[in-house]
Copies of this chain bind each other. A is one copy, B any other.
Amino acid sequence: MTPRVSLFTASVHVTEVTTRLADFFDAKELRAATLGGQYAELWAAARHSSEGGKKFRPALVLNTYAALGGDSQDDAVAVAMAFELLHTAFLLHDDVIDGDTMRRGHPNLLGTFSAQASARGVSARSAATWGEASAILAGDLLIQAAQAQVARLGVGEHKRLALLDLLEECLFVTAAGELADVAFSTSVQIPVLSDVVSMTQWKTAHYSFQAPLQAGAILADASADTVRGLSEFGRNVGIAFQLRDDILGVFGVEDETGKSSTSDLREGKMTLLMCYALQRSDTDELASILAHSDITAADATRVRQLLETSGARDFIEALITDYAQLAMAAIDSPAIPAGLRRQLEEVARKACDRAA
């Protein structure tokens, strides 16, 4: 895995999350080995799935907590770890739903297990079942593990319940976003622009930005105003982050993003970029290209042209600027200490302007 641009210049404490995750997976693998060799392999693959990401959700928890005066590093690391485990679980199940066998340029758990089964000579259908079952179960286990981190906190009942509520809401909202995403890409629902904005907020902004920021603040006993400001910041920066992702998914340089610049098109992903372009009357051509199941490189080039000429790319760039400004406004308040504000401004800049 190639480490990619971090949203933070320095997040020293994130290495503690990596260490704690390694300990967690060590213990699980050891115990799993007593329940069959394949189960130990499943846990090893789950560990591998959790590696190589940017770990920016843990960084958001830890930096927010520290900036707000929190001093129990152990608790903060546990909560940070919960978000990373949840993120990994979402990726695992998302890949099953999308039928993806690759992630970050390498075979994912589903792809690896399917390929191993094929190599043992089982039928293609059985190999696919084996890969899917493995990825579903790994995700289930990590959803459980994420919550266990928070459930076992020794922080007093009031705070523990608040964090449990936050994590429950996090899965609840993200599942709504994932469901909407699938509804759009399968044409079960034909969305208008506002539907796609909501989906983006639910599926990405909530668990990747809002909830980690809120969690760090709640753990640090921050005021309701602080929690609210951070949530509002997270919501807006999260939407901007995803809009940048949508643009990179089509216009990005594969060597920099580590991701095929035709896969979003091939999967029929309904991004705000695409939704806007499809609603312009002069782009029937776009709909007809996207209706193909096979998108060629020439198709992709033409799609990029149409996204430019329809004004879709400019529209999204302008929206990114708008959401970034809303994010900044949300933390321009005495409830957010100046040190934290400076860090978050950098987060917003990197989320919106990155090339990978």
Contact = CB atoms under 8 A, between A and B. Distances in A.
A179 interface: yes
Interface residues of A, number: 57
Given A129-B99, A133-B179, A140-B139, A154 B157 contact: yes
A141 B182 contact: no
A175 B138 CA distance: 8
Interface stretch (A143-151, A253-261, A333-341): A143-151
Contacts of A223: none
Interface string A108-145: 00000000010010100011011011101101110111
A296 to B, nearest CB: 20
Given A172-B141, A175-B141, A188-B122, A183 B38 contact: yes
B148 A186 contact: no
Contacts of A42: 175, 179
B39 A126 contact: no
A93 interface: yes
Contacts of A183: 38, 130
Contacts of A96: 132, 136
Nearest to A31: B172
Chain A interface, DSSP helix/strand/loop, else mixed: helix
Contacts of A154: 157
A35 B171 CA distance: 13
A178 interface: yes
B143 A140 contact: yes
B117 A186 contact: yes
By CB atoms of chain B within 10 A, which of A28, A38, A136 has the most? Answer: A136
A97 interface: yes
Contacts of A172: 28, 31-32, 35, 141
A36 B179 contact: yes
24 contacts: A32-B176, A35-B172, A36-B180, A36-B198, A38-B183, A38-B188, A39-B176, A42-B179, A89-B140, A96-B136, A97-B136, A99-B129, A126-B188, A127-B186, A130-B186, A133-B178, A137-B175, A137-B178, A137-B179, A139-B140, A141-B175, A143-B143, A145-B168, A148-B168
Shortest Cβ-Cβ A-B pairs, 3 listed:
A151-B151, A126-B186, A35-B176
Given A93-B136, A141-B172, 17 more contacts: A36-B179, A36-B198, A38-B179, A38-B183, A38-B189, A39-B176, A42-B175, A96-B136, A97-B132, A97-B136, A120-B188, A144-B168, A144-B171, A147-B148, A148-B168, A151-B151, A152-B164
Interface of A: 28, 31-32, 35-36, 38-39, 42, 89, 93, 96-97, 99, 117, 120, 122, 126-127, 129-130, 132-134, 136-137, 139-141, 143-145, 147-148, 150-152, 154, 157, 161, 164, 168, 171-173, 175-176, 178-180, 182-183, 186-189, 198, 202
